[in-house]
Structure 1
Amino acid sequence: MSSLAGSGGGLLSKLAKLDAYPKLNEDFSTKTMSGGVITIASSVVMLLLFISEVRIFTALQTTHELVVDTSRGETITINVDVTFPRMPCAWLSLDTMDISGDLHLDVDHDVYKQRLDAKGNPIREAQKHDVHSTKHTAPPVNPNVTCASCYGAEEVAGQCCNTCDEVRAAYRKKGWALTTVDHIEQCKHDEYMDSIKEQVGEGCKIWGRLEVNKVAGNFHFAPGRSYQQGNMHVHDVAPFGDAKMDFSHTINSLSFGTSYPGMRNPLDNVKAKQPQRGDDVTGMFQYFLKVVPTSYTTLTSSKPLSTNQFSVTENFREGQGGPGRMLPGVFFFYDLSPIKVQIVEKKSSFMHFLTSVCAIVGGVFTISGILDAGVYQGERLVKKKMQLGKFS
């Protein structure tokens, strides 16, 4: 029994020799004022570093990765909100085209117009703008109306133009400019012409979304109804005569897809003013956009959000008004990048947080111990020299 106790005591004594933290008797330890100051300072430093590490641990972090975009056959949602303080809603046409020049007549549009007075206040309730309504390739003839004249623009003998739009279409096919419609019987009760005259001096706010193919293209705000004539996309500006067109505008927002946390759109709240250097000066505002496909994956969802970022450069082309001159308006030309950005949310692991906290405590404790030892030895050396009278 005694041998067992002896062997147990020997084992414990050997274990005590492995102690890397030897204890000092309180009789041999000395507390100093400088040590107290260093202790307080090191505690404050440790607390600040700990709070910083907690903030890093609780904050969301994102990683960015560039990959080749392999998606095909998709569409892009364009969310647009633009205000024109000096262009009436009836004068404006919104169109989308892809790189081949074809109009996007078969895609889903959801765009609204809000008439504004000269001070920018809404006049009436917002109305839905049908993009298709501004484009006519072959307007139907009303069989209940007697065959009306095309006013010299007939292609074949006996051709009928029973509506104001049919007269305009006949003139366009001839390449003639229909500068006035006062003498045309079909246009005397045309709602489009009435709205043009009624809304003179007003402004317009247009907002909504456009679904377009995922290819390079453009969408634009321009005056007059737009038509597809052969392979050409044209706008009928004859109803406006010599009226001055000021396309000064404010882009309240513009995005290509759904927004994600931290997303920035460079054209939000951008204002552009047309130079005022003459009554016949007009111009084309051009925005060249580079759209970058982007996917964003949150911590709570395994399915990434597909959206787009974009960069922009802008230009203003000044021109003169009148027939045959440059078409004024606001044009957005966009091109797709072949590189896709993948953004993934992540948080630091608890083990990483624990490792950082231990490093903070150990590092600050070690540095403060070295500093305290240096200050203490310095104080002893000064006191010793003062006792020997060698310190002056």
Structure 2
Amino acid sequence: MDGIMSKLRNLDAYPKINEDFYSRTLSGGLITIASSVLMLLLFITELRLYLHAVTETKLMVDTSRGETLRINFDVTFPALPCSILSLDAMDISGEQHLDVKHDIIKKRLDSRGNVIESRPDGIGAPKIEKPLQKHGGRLEHNETYCGSCFGAEESDDHCCNNCEDVREAYRKKGWALSNPDLVDQCKREGFLQRIKEEEGEGCNVYGFLEVNKVAGNFHFAPGKSFQQSGVHVHDLMAFQKDTFNVSHHINRLSFGEYFPGVVNPLDGVHWNQESPSGMYQYFIKVVPTVYTDVGGHTIQSNQFSVTEHFRSAEAGLLQSLPGVFFFYDLSPIKVTFMEEHVSFLHFLTNVCAIVGGVFTVSGILDSFIYHSQKAIKKKMELGKFS
């Protein structure tokens, strides 16, 4: 039995040092405390990484089809009244949304930026006081009101009962409304008077657009938009102004839902117009993004990058089209973010690596300090006897 035990001792890969050969030092004690504290801090850091999810990023080709793109916006125009500001959207498929009013809220602002009034988009309700009928006479008590569209009627029974109806009928015909005071509805509602009263005011417009997921643009511009000889133009004559200040502040602009970590580069961007008039352009590259949290909930959204450019009205044709334009294009590459927890085996391996690494480095450091002190002490002793 003793022979077997002796053979087992010879197989010991971890030979023990007799305690008589141990030498405990002050420097060794300090290094032990420091290494213990360091191991504890590294362990806590690793534990926090283990308890919190990590995000894995992947790139892939976007093969989605037939989807829509939601554009959320909140833009302030300090020098453009709400009554003259319109929003249009169009894309390369040919679909157009002119003078968008649904899902849009406008806030009238005074010169200091304070809110005067908040309302859905539109000029307002007409005040009917014996208005002019389509047949030319004035409204009588026993008649139903049917206002004239002043040559822009789509059919014999088409009625334009307020100024906005007339402007819309003109827009569909591709005509510009040169003098609203010649239109009974606009004169009765005080269209030009209201524009003059709002002079010097600003407008905050916010809401969202639901558009096709293809390249396109949306823009904020003064005037009623329409197509004339295949060209997109705005009726600016009705406002009797030569220049428009399109200075603006983008409070928020995003494509799709919010997801953790998203950065929208146009949030908080401000631009102040110095030239008389012109077109401010943002060229946006939209990158489809899918975010999946640790619970498996998926958010379909987008990120984007942007470049900016200003085109002065001196370029000729742009003189009739001032505004702020957002041209967007879609990237064929989709980014996916996926949250997931680190495995326990990975955590355990890292802890072992931390303990082993700190212990080894501190041992080397302690050995260096100990032998250095011993060598210095020996030289000092030799110097005394020489």
Name the TM-score class by shorter chain: 0.7 to 0.9
Counterpart residue identity of residue 202, structure 2: G
Aligned to 1:54: 47
Aligned to 2:184: 185
Q: Any idea what SS the aligned residue of 2:220 has? A: strand
Q: Distance in 2 between matches of 1:204 and 1:159?
A: 37
Q: Distance in 2 between matches of 1:108 and 1:194?
A: 22
- Among 321, 330, 349, the alignment partner of 1:355 is 349
Deviations 1:57-101 (A, max 9, x none): 334322221111100000011000000111111111111111144
Conserved in 1, the CA contact under 8 Å of 2:277 and 2:322? Answer: yes
Question: Do the aligned partners of residues 194 and 262 (structure 1) sit closer, same or farther apart at CA in structure 2, a change above 3 Å counting?
Answer: same
User: Do structure 1's residue 304 and structure 2's residue 298 form an aligned pair?
Assistant: yes
Q: Any idea what SS the aligned residue of 1:263 has? A: coil
Q: Any idea what SS the aligned residue of 1:311 has? A: strand
Aligned to 1:212: 211
Question: Do the aligned partners of residues 333 and 322 (structure 1) sit closer, same or farther apart at CA in structure 2, a change above 3 Å counting?
Answer: closer
What are the residue-to-residue correspondences of 1:223-238 with 2, within 5 Å? 223-229=222-228, 231-238=230-237
Question: Do the aligned partners of residues 240 and 42 (structure 1) sit closer, same or farther apart at CA in structure 2, a change above 3 Å counting?
Answer: same
How much does 1:56 deviate?
Answer: 3.0
Q: Distance in 1 between matches of 2:169 and 2:19?
A: 110
Deviations 1:198-219 (A, max 9, x none): 3222111101111000011111
Counterpart residue identity of residue 337, structure 2: I
TM-score when normalising by structure 1: 0.81
Q: Distance in 1 between matches of 2:19 and 2:64?
A: 74
Q: Distance in 1 between matches of 2:98 and 2:84?
A: 20
How much does 1:17 deviate?
Answer: 3.5
Aligned to 1:97: 90
- Among 14, 21, 26, the alignment partner of 2:14 is 21
Counterpart residue identity of residue 28, structure 1: F
Q: Distance in 2 between matches of 1:391 and 1:211?
A: 95
The answer for unaligned runs of 5 or more in structure 1 is 1-5, 134-140
Could you tell which deviates more after superposition, 76-85 or 235-244? 235-244
User: Do structure 1's residue 293 and structure 2's residue 288 form an aligned pair?
Assistant: yes
Question: Do the aligned partners of residues 297 and 322 (structure 1) sit closer, same or farther apart at CA in structure 2, a change above 3 Å counting?
Answer: same
How much does 1:25 deviate?
Answer: 3.2
Q: How much is the aligned-residue C-alpha RMSD, in angstroms?
A: 3.6
Q: Distance in 2 between matches of 1:262 and 1:19?
A: 54
Question: Do the aligned partners of residues 361 and 391 (structure 1) sit closer, same or farther apart at CA in structure 2, a change above 3 Å counting?
Answer: farther
Q: Any idea what SS the aligned residue of 2:196 has? A: helix
Q: Distance in 1 between matches of 2:157 and 2:30?
A: 103
Counterpart residue identity of residue 221, structure 2: A
Deviations 1:97-133 (A, max 9, x none): 1114431379994111111111111112x222379x9
Aligned to 1:262: 261
Could you tell which deviates more after superposition, 163-172 or 46-55? 163-172
Aligned to 1:41: 34
Conserved in 2, the CA contact under 8 Å of 1:288 and 1:332? Answer: yes
- Among 43, 50, 72, the alignment partner of 2:65 is 72
TM-score when normalising by structure 2: 0.82
How much does 1:345 deviate?
Answer: 1.5
Q: Distance in 1 between matches of 2:15 and 2:71?
A: 71
Aligned to 1:201: 200
Instruction: State, as a whole percentage, how many aligned pairs show the same letter.
Output: 57
User: Do structure 1's residue 372 and structure 2's residue 349 form an aligned pair?
Assistant: no
The answer for unaligned runs of 5 or more in structure 2 is 126-132, 136-143
Q: Distance in 1 between matches of 2:224 and 2:39?
A: 70
Could you tell which deviates more after superposition, 338-347 or 212-221? 338-347
Q: Distance in 1 between matches of 2:185 and 2:323?
A: 29
Question: Do the aligned partners of residues 352 and 160 (structure 1) sit closer, same or farther apart at CA in structure 2, a change above 3 Å counting?
Answer: closer
Deviations 1:241-267 (A, max 9, x none): 125421111000000001111100000
Aligned to 1:345: 339
Conserved in 2, the CA contact under 8 Å of 1:88 and 1:200? Answer: yes
Q: Any idea what SS the aligned residue of 1:369 has? A: helix
Aligned to 1:137: none
* Count of residues paired in the alignment: 367
Q: Distance in 2 between matches of 1:323 and 1:82?
A: 26
